[in-house]
Amino acid sequence: MKADVLLGLQWGDEGKGKIVDVLTPHYDIVARFQGGPNAGHTLEFEGKHFVLRSIPSGIFQQGQVNVIGNGVVLDPVLFKEEAEELEKSGVALKQVLKISKKAHVILPTHRLLDAAYERLKGDAKIGTTGKGIGPTYTDKVSRDGVRVGDLLQNLDEAYAKAKRRHLALLKACGMEADIQEAEQRWLEAVEYLKQFELIDSEYYVNNSLQAGKRVLCEGAQGSLLDIDFGSYPFVTSSNTVCAGACTGLGLAPSRIGEVYGIFKAYCTRVGSGPFPTELFDETGSMIRNIGHEYGAVTGRERRCGWIDLVALRYTIMLNGVTQLIMMKSDVLDGMDVVKACDAYEVDGVLTHDVPFNMGGNVKPVFTELPGWKTDLTHITAEDQFPKAFVDYIHYLESRLGVPITIVSVGPDREQTIIRNNAHLS
Ligand code: GDP
Ligand code: IMO
Ligand code: MG
């Protein structure tokens, strides 16, 4: 079998959590491959609302195994909070969740370093989620990290070494840190984490595929936040593109099957960095209010703008997307006109490519399409779509070159239209 991948094509918060939950019944295993508690994946069903940060979004369906892969960075304290809440709501988490021993661990000092580096950057700050993501991946790459497997074997030594180094770095940044209380909570959380099944997930996932099991890989963030191809330096610290599923789970490229690319019918971004189609007017505020565009983790206001087809074509290319999933179409229900950016003018020259410096003199060139002026939220099948909405879908498909096979018309699990052209495993 091949593993399918679902990932965000914009700057995150596309609705990955919702769709992973919807697709989970088609799979045996759901596996997160990168990111950490910077993610906030929202699921709504049966009147309930959950936000998942490190735990895969397949956790609420029945019978699937969920895996936290080696590419993820895990904060034991936030993991414990999230896991205990799920256990309280009746999820038998310890029976269905497995964690890679090779996942890197976020230490209390990583969070302090995240804050210190942001402060040093001043106005040029990235606007991180403050969860210690960058410093933890930095330690991984500089070969100084602590892995989940170390918690079982040489925790004291590994932790003491990292802490010493971090405290020296914090001192150099002018931050004297008293971490006693945070450290105590972290150590307690480590004991909790050790109750879970800690595995060599690369063997587990590959052996499962070999045995005919169906695997869905869940991405976090979005391709425009990718460390290599995103709007650097305003990005996260992992490979959010499809290749991240290979390194973050130990999958060979030939093992990748369908790639579901997910995007909003418009576009949002949290934190600093370029955003060519950003709206600073009434329309932007309207999208924010109707779409409830506030961060699932940080509560921060999300910046809103029109859909950017130049950027989407780029991320579709980088990921080898085979099926597109359009989210939050209903948020545009009241618009007279819907705009889509199909080209940029960079220093006065028309281009269809994302320039090296997305933050330079980049002006969006918009195409205008008629709005559908219909409430989509109660629609249950694609033959009920109003004509103007069908035209919008066809326009996007023709400009993006990949079929839109799933359309979301509301936050609930049920508000999902699987189109006839969908190819689900
Ligand atoms: P993720 O990080 O990609 O999982 O996305 P988030 O959960 O951070 O943000 C998506 C937000 O949009 C959540 O509040 C969802 O409940 C909500 N949502 C998802 N799909 C739809 C939709 O089709 N319409 C509307 N109105 N809201 C949606
Ligand atoms: P999900 O999985 C939206 C953004 C932050 C910041 C930049 C770097 O819910 O889509 P970091 O803490 O990762 O070092 O922050 O990336 N960011 C996200 N934006 N959705 C996310 O995750 C994000 N995770 C990180 O706002 O600009
Ligand atoms: Mg989110």
Residue 412: CB partners within 8 Å, gap ≥ 6?
A: 44, 45
The predicted pLDDT at position 118 comes to 97
The predicted pLDDT at position 425 comes to 82
Low-confidence ranges of the chain (pLDDT < 50): none
**How many CB atoms lie under 10 A from the CB of residue 421?**
12
Cα Rg of the chain, angstroms = 21
The predicted pLDDT at position 57 comes to 98
324-333 pLDDT tens trace: 999 999 999 9
- Under a CB-based contact definition with an 8 Å cutoff, are residues 224 and 234 in contact? no
The predicted pLDDT at position 315 comes to 98
Ligand 1, residue 14: give the atom nearest the CA. Answer: 3
Probe residue for ligand 2, chosen from 6, 42, 112, 221 as the CB with the greatest number of ligand atoms within 8 Å: 221
Determine the distance separating the centroid of ligand 1 and the alpha carbon of 331, expressed in angstroms: 11
Residue 41 annotated as catalytic:
yes
200-257 pLDDT tens trace: 999 999 999 999 999 999 999 999 999 999 999 999 999 999 999 999 999 999 999 9
Residue 378 annotated as catalytic:
no
Nearest CA to ligand 1 atom 20: 411
Q: Tell me which of 4, 13, 28, 114 is the catalytic residue.
A: 13
Q: How far apart are CA 174 and CA 168, in angstroms?
A: 10
**How many CB atoms lie under 10 A from the CB of residue 394?**
11
Determine the distance separating the centroid of ligand 2 and the alpha carbon of 421, expressed in angstroms: 32
The predicted pLDDT at position 255 comes to 98
119-177 pLDDT tens trace: 999 999 999 999 999 999 999 999 999 999 999 998 999 999 999 999 999 999 999 88
The predicted pLDDT at position 90 comes to 95
Is 244 touching ligand 1 by the criterion CB < 6 Å? Answer: no
